[in-house]
Chain A
Amino acid sequence: MKKLSLLALLSAAAVTIAGCGAKAQTAEYFGKTEPPSGQEMRYITGSEPESLDPQVSTGQPEARVYLALYEGLTEYHPVTGEAMPAIAERWEPNADNSEFTFHLRHNARFSNGDPITAGDFVYTLRRGLAPALAARAAYLAYYIKGAQAYNEGRGRAEDIGIQAIDDFTLKITLTQPLPFLDGLMAHQFFRVLPQKTIEKYGDAWTEPAHIVTSGAFKVETWRHYDRLILVRDPMNWDAARVKLDRITFYPLEDVTTMMNLYKAGEVDAVYNHTVPYAWVDQIRHLPDYMDKPEVAIEYYGINTTKPPMNDLRVRKAFNLAVDKSALAEYRRVVKPLTSFTPEGIFPKYPRPTGDGFDPQRGRDLLAEAGFSGADGKFDPSKFPASSLEILYNTTESNKQTAEFVQAQWKQNLGITIPLKNMEWKTFLDERAKLRFSGFSRQGWIADYMDPYSFLDLFSTPTGENGTGWFDPKYKAMLEEANRQPDPQKRYELLAKAESYMLEAQPIVPLWTSGSDWLKKPYVKGMYSNPIILHPWKYVYIEHDRSKWNSDPLPAITSN
């Protein structure tokens, strides 16, 4: 009897699962496709926002919300992710890109109706850099003159290179040429904040009862760990263009729950990298699936300070022995990567190719490095494989990748490198302090749309990049490139620096990430841009089914 009821239950479950799978494969879309009645968007944004203060929190879940709540001098283009005008109507750099003048529109307002002027931007930057605020993203402003000194408690706020020439003209002076400053200004850290409200309420200024915002939407309710509801802000200078009346952000972390909610039609879109690996094949051919390269990469950092990985030949050998194309095929939603900047993102950037797949050369290099038998050929038994490890933070997906790479090395070099997984924060600590031998998982999402956002990672001597590799010559090459006023010439110099870094092989590049998210066919104006941040004012719900198959380009803000 006992056996029987258990069996009955299991077979019922099996039938349901099988039935469900079969249905999804033949369906036109994934799950229910009933649009919400009005212009209302329900979106899953990732973990619970740390705060609604864009200078205090640094995560992507918050960044997605800030695009609705705050506006900066510039904004991310909904399709390309590049800078486009926002509160600044236009801007011009000086001859060597070390000084930018922004011209602000005259009708920009905060949600309480107060006008937004150049002075508000000056306040915002000074506040973000104040040591007492301890903003974690403050380093992004270090390119601005006097910013680092003030943030370190050495300088004065008045000496920061930001100046309100008049109410609607803002001048930013930099420590070095920075052609991509306009892209950087779209980052949440630089989005304009209400001085009066912050000074009146202190830390409590972000509470729904007090908060004043500068974006196309404003806060209606915030129920922690439940939902954050934003509504259209009639005060916004571009309110006429805003189509959605309301956006509900759900803070959620469990990917299966997200998929369930999406399938049941309880949400209209989910953020990136959310489709579980096991579901990809079932979903990827449906129009719901958003799959474009993202300005993000995955790689293994090598601890270059410990033997045998302090030998360049050994590092090169391990990179040569991983078939990146096979890995990409295995991971399904990514593109193979052999360089340090992502593939297919910066079309004009002459991205170096790096070393490809060549296991024979890898074995030769290892033999050269002294791991050879009597015949002079590489002998795997001579290599201290057990002293190394592939370190990663515990997730199913990281484990699969590590096992794949491990198998590649086993197959191509005859070496088995042990795997080691750790809880997230423990892993970060271990990696930052270089307490591992061999390889550690790393990923990077650009802060702004420029190859420099990647290359800059290796320009500090502190070993924070998790490899211990630093070369002053590399840093000098980057600086020289940034001094170059001609954008194409600058790209060429940056690519040269990237080649130089790849030659030193502090990393094993793995892949360019795929965006990997879902949206219902009735959600329009939301594109799979490389930075996966959506300016919400262009998003709308299309109730006319006949238009579901087209994805019209947005009418972009003009001056």
Chain B
Amino acid sequence: MLRFIIRRLLVTVPMVLVVVSLTWGLIRLAPGNFYTGEKPIPAPILKNLRDKYGLDKPWYVQYGKMISNTLHGDFGSSLKYQGQSVNTILKSALPVSATIGFLAYVLALTVGVTFGALAALRQNSQLDYSSMALAMVGISLPNFVLGPLLVLVLSLTWYVFPPALWGGASHLVLPVLTLSGLYMAYIARLARAGMLEVLRSNYIRTARAKGLSEWRVITRHALRGGLLPVVSFSGPALAFLLTGTVVVERIFALPGLGNYFINANLNRDEPLIIGIVAFISIAVLVFNLLVDIAYGFLDPRVRYS
């Protein structure tokens, strides 16, 4: 098990390097630069700018610097936000995204698994139909529609929750609801499908034959196997939820990583883009690893040597 984890962690390093290299190349291909704006910049000032940021150095020097920065975990200073280091930005933005993402995930998991499992246990009942219909709505309703709808009803019509900004607990409600909608619906469907399959399997029949109570059959045996699809979905989902979601952060004006990321791209802010991409790819790899480990615990058939 330990060897497995170490091996997977070691693979992370070259993979992150490949990802940042590709990103770096793509930034180079995109026209424009961080300093271009509506007002044209006279030639002498352009020269000063290019000298200051070393933009006229050969590409391999600039690339080497980027790789070395990435390996040291220090991505340098943002080009757009002068005087701010990328690491400071990551440190300030991550807690915001992570808070929203984590709460949304917990909400999605709790509601999704509860309704998914209940729907499976009461297959073809009213409860099954209505919760799956609602899940369908959740999946079809993109968050850029759900968010404004919630704002319209809960902020502008009833003035219950603030429509945007980052502050107290009341500011969390709408973004968390918006963000969790899709995941909640998806998890409910996955849980239902997983449970249905497991409930028909032989080991559940065996458990029942042993005379176990229905509650025990479900919690000890059925859920463990039935939730495997949810677990494998959770890895990448958590990675994306925790590292910032562009649409929700924009609609609710949250100072999270997603907002930085989209603007860094629009601004051609190379160090910031590289920093965020490296961070997100590490998160995705680590969460996938966690999922694989969780599999081992949940399903006795999967064991790593």
Complex Cα distance A254/B35, Å? Answer: 22
Chain A min CB distance to B74 (Å): 16
The reply to whether the CB of A368 lies closer than 8 angstroms to some CB of chain B is no
Residues of chain B contacted by A131 (CB below 8 angstroms): 48, 51
The reply to whether the CB of A504 lies closer than 8 angstroms to some CB of chain B is no
The reply to whether the CB of B214 lies closer than 8 angstroms to some CB of chain A is no
The interface bits of chain A over 304-323 (1 if a CB of B lies within 8 angstroms of the residue's CB, else 0) are 00000000000000000000
Name the residue on A nearest B36 (C-beta).
A428
Please state if B81 and A50 are interface contacts (CB–CB under 8 Å). Answer: yes
Say whether, besides A224-B81, A254-B250, A428-B36, A16 and B52 are in contact (CB < 8 Å): no
Please state if B137 and A224 are interface contacts (CB–CB under 8 Å). Answer: no
Please state if A264 and B255 are interface contacts (CB–CB under 8 Å). Answer: no
Name the residue on B nearest A447 (C-beta).
B39
Select which of B45, B129, B165, B255 is within 8 A of A136 by beta carbon.
B45
Residues of chain B contacted by A263 (CB below 8 angstroms): 156, 163
Residues of chain B contacted by A214 (CB below 8 angstroms): none
Select which of A58, A227, A257, A430 is within 8 A of B163 by beta carbon.
A257
The bracket for how many chain B residues form the interface is: 35 or more
Residues of chain B contacted by A19 (CB below 8 angstroms): 157
Select which of A4, A134, A257 is within 8 A of B251 by beta carbon.
A257
Of A93-101, A203-211, A375-383, the one with at least 4 CB within 8 A of chain B: A203-211
Please state if A50 and B82 are interface contacts (CB–CB under 8 Å). Answer: yes
Complex Cα distance A425/B269, Å? Answer: 12
Chain A min CB distance to B231 (Å): 28
Please state if B166 and A226 are interface contacts (CB–CB under 8 Å). Answer: yes
Name the residue on A nearest B257 (C-beta).
A225
The interface bits of chain A over 194-225 (1 if a CB of B lies within 8 angstroms of the residue's CB, else 0) are 00000000011011000000000000000111
Select which of A5, A424, A430 is within 8 A of B130 by beta carbon.
A5
Say whether, besides A32-B159, A423-B266, A426-B32, A2 and B82 are in contact (CB < 8 Å): no
The reply to whether the CB of B22 lies closer than 8 angstroms to some CB of chain A is no
Chain A min CB distance to B236 (Å): 25
The reply to whether the CB of B162 lies closer than 8 angstroms to some CB of chain A is yes
Name the residue on A nearest B153 (C-beta).
A16
The reply to whether the CB of B11 lies closer than 8 angstroms to some CB of chain A is no
Chain A min CB distance to B245 (Å): 14
Please state if A151 and B82 are interface contacts (CB–CB under 8 Å). Answer: no
Complex Cα distance A462/B41, Å? Answer: 11
Complex Cα distance A48/B80, Å? Answer: 10
Give chain A interface residues in 417-448, CB to chain B under 8 Å.
423-426, 428-430, 432, 443-444
Residues of chain A contacted by B252 (CB below 8 angstroms): 257
Please state if A261 and B165 are interface contacts (CB–CB under 8 Å). Answer: yes
Residues of chain B contacted by A5 (CB below 8 angstroms): 130, 133-134, 137
Say whether, besides A57-B82, A264-B156, A256 and B45 are in contact (CB < 8 Å): no
The reply to whether the CB of A250 lies closer than 8 angstroms to some CB of chain B is yes
Please state if A256 and B148 are interface contacts (CB–CB under 8 Å). Answer: yes
Please state if B36 and A425 are interface contacts (CB–CB under 8 Å). Answer: yes
Say whether, besides A5-B130, A50-B82, A138-B45, A425 and B159 are in contact (CB < 8 Å): no
Please state if A261 and B33 are interface contacts (CB–CB under 8 Å). Answer: no
Please state if B51 and A134 are interface contacts (CB–CB under 8 Å). Answer: yes
Residues of chain A contacted by B130 (CB below 8 angstroms): 1, 5
Select which of A51, A151, A257 is within 8 A of B44 by beta carbon.
A151
The reply to whether the CB of B14 lies closer than 8 angstroms to some CB of chain A is no
The reply to whether the CB of A260 lies closer than 8 angstroms to some CB of chain B is yes
The reply to whether the CB of A239 lies closer than 8 angstroms to some CB of chain B is no
Say whether, besides A32-B159, A264-B163, A429-B36, A224 and B30 are in contact (CB < 8 Å): no
The interface bits of chain A over 460-491 (1 if a CB of B lies within 8 angstroms of the residue's CB, else 0) are 10101110000000000000000000000000
Residues of chain A contacted by B132 (CB below 8 angstroms): 2
The number of chain A residues with a CB under 8 A from chain B is 70
Please state if A224 and B40 are interface contacts (CB–CB under 8 Å). Answer: no
Please state if A139 and B45 are interface contacts (CB–CB under 8 Å). Answer: yes
Say whether, besides A19-B157, A207-B83, A426-B31, A226 and B255 are in contact (CB < 8 Å): yes
Complex Cα distance A261/B156, Å? Answer: 9
Residues of chain A contacted by B35 (CB below 8 angstroms): 136
Complex Cα distance A142/B134, Å? Answer: 65
Please state if A462 and B266 are interface contacts (CB–CB under 8 Å). Answer: no
Complex Cα distance A226/B93, Å? Answer: 10
Please state if B32 and A134 are interface contacts (CB–CB under 8 Å). Answer: no
The reply to whether the CB of A13 lies closer than 8 angstroms to some CB of chain B is yes
The reply to whether the CB of B259 lies closer than 8 angstroms to some CB of chain A is yes
Complex Cα distance A443/B40, Å? Answer: 12
Give chain A interface residues in 247-297, CB to chain B under 8 Å.
250, 252-254, 256-257, 260-261, 263-264, 266
The interface bits of chain A over 94-137 (1 if a CB of B lies within 8 angstroms of the residue's CB, else 0) are 00000000000000000000000000000000000001111110
Residues of chain B contacted by A166 (CB below 8 angstroms): none
The reply to whether the CB of B155 lies closer than 8 angstroms to some CB of chain A is yes
The reply to whether the CB of B302 lies closer than 8 angstroms to some CB of chain A is no
Residues of chain A contacted by B40 (CB below 8 angstroms): 432, 462, 464-466
Chain B min CB distance to A301 (Å): 11
Please state if A17 and B266 are interface contacts (CB–CB under 8 Å). Answer: no
Select which of B38, B133, B163, B256 is within 8 A of A2 by beta carbon.
B133
The interface bits of chain B over 29-63 (1 if a CB of A lies within 8 angstroms of the residue's CB, else 0) are 01111011111111111011101110000000000
Residues of chain A contacted by B251 (CB below 8 angstroms): 254, 256-257
The reply to whether the CB of A53 lies closer than 8 angstroms to some CB of chain B is yes
Select which of A9, A256, A429 is within 8 A of B137 by beta carbon.
A9
Complex Cα distance A57/B39, Å? Answer: 13
The reply to whether the CB of B164 lies closer than 8 angstroms to some CB of chain A is yes
The reply to whether the CB of A92 lies closer than 8 angstroms to some CB of chain B is no
Select which of B52, B81, B136 is within 8 A of A134 by beta carbon.
B52
Please state if B253 and A20 are interface contacts (CB–CB under 8 Å). Answer: no
Chain A min CB distance to B294 (Å): 33
Name the residue on A nearest B145 (C-beta).
A13
Select which of A13, A20, A151 is within 8 A of B48 by beta carbon.
A151
Give chain B interface residues in 120-164, CB to chain A under 8 Å.
129-130, 132-134, 136-137, 148-149, 151-153, 155-157, 159, 162-164
A-B contact pairs, 26 of them (CB 8 A): A2-B136, A5-B130, A6-B136, A6-B137, A20-B156, A20-B157, A53-B83, A58-B39, A136-B41, A136-B49, A151-B48, A203-B77, A203-B83, A224-B89, A224-B92, A250-B165, A254-B250, A257-B250, A264-B155, A266-B162, A424-B32, A424-B266, A425-B267, A425-B268, A432-B36, A464-B40
Mark B residues whose CB is within 8 Å of A: 30-33, 35-45, 47-49, 51-53, 77, 80-84, 89, 92-93, 129-130, 132-134, 136-137, 148-149, 151-153, 155-157, 159, 162-166, 250-256, 259-260, 263, 266-268
Q: A51-B83, A432-B36, A462-B43 are in contact. List 10 more A-B contacts (CB 8 A).
A: A1-B129, A13-B149, A16-B152, A134-B45, A139-B41, A139-B45, A223-B92, A224-B92, A225-B256, A425-B31
What 5 A-B pairs are tightest by C-beta distance, nearest first?
Answer: A425-B32, A464-B40, A225-B255, A260-B163, A429-B31
